[in-house]
Amino acid sequence: MEIEKSNIQIMLLLLIIALNPIATVYAYNHQPLIKETIEYDYRGPRCDELYIVVIMTPEAQMLALKKGEIDVLGWPGVQPLQVAEIMADPKIHVVTSEVTEYYPLVFNVRKYPFNITDFRRAIAYCIDREKIVEILLLGYGRVATSCIPKAHGIWHNPNVPQYEYNPAKAAEILDRLGFIDTDKDGIRNDPKTGKNLPDMTIMIPSYDPIRIRMAQLISGWAAEVGLPIKPEPTEHGTMIDKIVGEHDFDMCCWTYGWYPPWDPISLLYHSSQDVPWGWNDPGIRNSTWDALIEEILNTPSIDELKEYIWTFQVWHMQLIPDFPLFERLMIDAYRTDKTEGWLPMLGIGILNFWSYMNVHEKGKIFGGKIKYPVQRETKTLNPCKVTSGWDYEVIDKVYDTLMKRDLNNNYIPWMAKSWDVQMFPENKTQIITFYLHENITWHDGKPVTGEDVKFTLEYYRDYEIPPYLPYVSSIYKVEVPAKYAVKVYLNTTSVIALYNIGTMLYILPKHLWYNVTDPMEYEPKVPIGSGPFKFVEWVKGEYIKLVYNEKYFKLPEERIIIPFEVANMRITPSKAYVGDIVAVTVTIKNKGLIERTQEIQFKVAGKIEDKKTITLAPGQSIDLTFTTTKDKAGEYTIEIDGLSGKVTFEERPAVLPAYQTIAGTLISIVVVAVVVYYVARKKR
């Protein structure tokens, strides 16, 4: 990687360091288990098939893991109450990680009375977050003190003002706002109508018992100060529609799991994302916030970036569009008797891209069917329509990005083998040139080129695709200087632009998407990407099946498919009569580095007459024989996996009927007798 200006090189190096906070993987007793750098060669996939299985409750997932029906627990992992039970199973391994996600209580600030900042603050004072961590998480977590979790390292501001549990303070604020229980029935009255406040609901996913119980606790605490707040467990898909699409809710509790730290800021709180199917769930619109977010997205300085992100965290807690409640430790569990190769990623745990690249059947270098569960089914196979983490389960494996984050959260080249960055501070612009690997193909076999990258960036920008708009809005021109290069012109000197474009944008195949003029309505039946897995099947409500991409550009050398060598064809006989059997023998050799199974086809005159499936160890060879016969004379071409030869079938010589043969014999005898008679007479 060559950075053309030394100061840019220094800033990017600092950014890489800053993006790699010291994260700790914990044992079940909270003692540090892993701190060292995680090593991995970043090649794969190593399994054959990947099944994303829908199992909707933690209890059902746990049972399936114990029975061996799945290989790993899905997010959010082991429930705290089940840790001791699962650790008693010798065939299951448990790893607990600090992750970059948190659980906030989100207010719909578009709606009265949640559009009143002090009303939101009063609700925050009602909530005993320490009790939530103690009662529901059993200590496997901590109070969330900011919208940027502590696992983000230097990006987390430890000095954000807090709303400690204080019911008296909550009551004081509500009284001051005029929400007073005038009729003394235990429910405060709305100063606008004089009537009791209507029930206010907290929408939580029906699959998560922790958040359901949390909402019940909040309901009880709120009732103590006269606020009628009720839990509303809701099916996840309905939550997406109501909150993201229709903006029809009072409060909700999502999980926000983000990396890097500017992602939640730019997506969740910028006014441009307050649109149907945008990412601004609270609906906060604040021009001062927008200006600060623009500074975060455009600053060329690491120090300024940190300062702005710290400032935003303070502003966030002051305006409180959502109230950070708690951070959970991720408790992962996987079977050790069936699979191996699960990799813990800093800030995420073992359910990450690299685990799916590396995991495989135990005892083998490659192979196996890996099954992992999800509590909610994906809603789309279209990268433009993702609205939750469940949607990324397929998208992240079928499509690919120019760069990746490694297991330690450092940048690494991926589809792009290298890049150049040129900064022009006087014009507040920069040019990023990506150089692509030349051996990447789409799943339909067509090559991935710079034209695909150019098309993708312009497509996301021109159609204003919500998940990607913050990353492409500053792009004003894209060029393809060579078949496998793309030059991106940006009207920003942002130090994070390279990261955003490189890691956050899934590259689309131009030849399949250029006719898609309504991306938010388009739904592909079979998504075609260039990623490590290919889509095969979706049985709604049950599973999605993916298979490894046998032509993936990062496939391990040992796994690259080398067709069996077919040589030394022997045709016996090479000429035969019609109806006779001809044997065709070839020598088959596995010149690859692993045991493989391959189907060998036997063709005569261009038509498949027979096929055989054989398995050979590395270096092994065998003789394989096919047979054929024909009922018509002629020369026939024989082909076995590209090796060809010829065989000729001739008409068999005519054979006379039996009575003709006998008559001919008698005539011959008579003729011979006559000749002998005359010769004998002459001698006399």
pLDDT by 10-residue block (mean), the chain, 684 residues: 38 42 33 49 95 93 95 88 89 89 95 98 98 92 93 91 97 98 96 96 93 96 98 92 95 84 82 90 94 89 92 96 94 94 90 96 94 93 91 96 92 96 93 98 98 99 92 96 98 93 97 96 97 98 97 90 90 95 96 86 96 93 96 96 94 68 54 49 48
Residue 406 tokens, joined: 């490694």
Say how far apart CA 174 and CA 321 lie, in whole Å: 18
Q: Which residues contact 184 (CB under 8 A, 6 or more apart)?
A: none
Contact (Cβ atoms closer than 8 angstroms) between residue 373 and residue 55:
yes
Do residues 637 and 666 share a domain? Answer: no
End-of-domain residue from the set 307, 328, 349: 328
Query: What CATH number corresponds to the domain at position 633?
Result: 2.60.40.10
| Domains of the chain: total | 3
Do residues 228 and 252 share a domain? Answer: yes
Q: Is residue 403 part of a domain?
A: no
Say how far apart CA 586 and CA 570 lie, in whole Å: 6
Do residues 188 and 262 share a domain? Answer: yes
Q: Which residues contact 515 (CB under 8 A, 6 or more apart)?
A: none
Say how far apart CA 482 and CA 488 lie, in whole Å: 13
Q: Is residue 123 part of a domain?
A: yes
Do residues 307 and 192 share a domain? Answer: yes
Residue 603 tokens, joined: 């063709």
pLDDT of residue 36: 45
Query: What CATH number corresponds to the domain at position 297?
Result: 3.10.105.10
Do residues 580 and 662 share a domain? Answer: no
Do residues 172 and 270 share a domain? Answer: yes
pLDDT of residue 324: 96
Contact (Cβ atoms closer than 8 angstroms) between residue 273 and residue 280:
yes
Say how far apart CA 357 and CA 353 lie, in whole Å: 6
Q: Is residue 341 part of a domain?
A: no
Do residues 298 and 193 share a domain? Answer: yes
Q: Is residue 206 part of a domain?
A: yes
Q: Which residues contact 599 (CB under 8 A, 6 or more apart)?
A: 611, 612, 613
Strand 475-482 to 485-490 pairing = antiparallel
Contact (Cβ atoms closer than 8 angstroms) between residue 91 and residue 335:
yes
Q: What value, to the nearest 5°, has the Cα angle with vertex 606 and ends 602 and 611? A: 20
Q: Is residue 346 part of a domain?
A: no
Do residues 587 and 664 share a domain? Answer: no
Do residues 145 and 197 share a domain? Answer: yes
pLDDT of residue 262: 81
Question: Burial letters for 243-279: b for 16+ Cβ neighbours within 10 Å, e otherwise?
Answer: bbeebebbbbbbbbbbbbbbbbbbbbbbbbbbeebbb
Q: Is residue 145 part of a domain?
A: yes
Phi first, then psi, for residue 617 (nearest 5°) are -75, 165
End-of-domain residue from the set 305, 328, 351: 328
Do residues 203 and 217 share a domain? Answer: yes
Do residues 568 and 670 share a domain? Answer: no
pTM exceeds 0.75, yes or no: no
Contact (Cβ atoms closer than 8 angstroms) between residue 306 and residue 155:
yes
Say how far apart CA 191 and CA 492 lie, in whole Å: 48
Q: Is residue 406 part of a domain?
A: no
pLDDT of residue 255: 86
Show the domain range for 668. Answer: 656-684
Do residues 128 and 111 share a domain? Answer: yes
Residue 59 tokens, joined: 């209890």
End-of-domain residue from the set 266, 296, 328: 328
pLDDT of residue 38: 60
Q: Which residues contact 503 (CB under 8 A, 6 or more apart)?
A: 401, 402, 403, 404, 405, 411
Say how far apart CA 294 and CA 301 lie, in whole Å: 14
Q: Is residue 196 part of a domain?
A: yes
Say how far apart CA 355 and CA 345 lie, in whole Å: 9
